Amino acid sequence: MDSCKNPTLFKTLLFGCAVFHALLIDRKKFGPIGWTSPTYDFSDTDLEVTKDQLKMMIDDRGDDID
């Protein structure tokens, strides 16, 4: 995490993504009335990809994000 150009911003945004991901995972237990499509299974890989994309965005455009 500290390899990002702005680690404080990265940690804050990653926390928000992790909470949202946990919410999506939890909603699966409600079946078709939940938020996730029954044909797509959200997994830890989705969170890893989100983390990588977030780091790339902050490293490329970190000065424009506040």
Return the pLDDT at 61. 81
The whole model's pTM is what?
A: 0.74
| pLDDT tens digits along 27-65 | 777 776 655 566 667 788 989 999 999 999 998 886 666
Return the pLDDT at 35. 59
E-strand ranges in 1-66 read none
Cβ atoms of 14 and 20 within 8 Å: the answer is no
Return the pLDDT at 51. 93
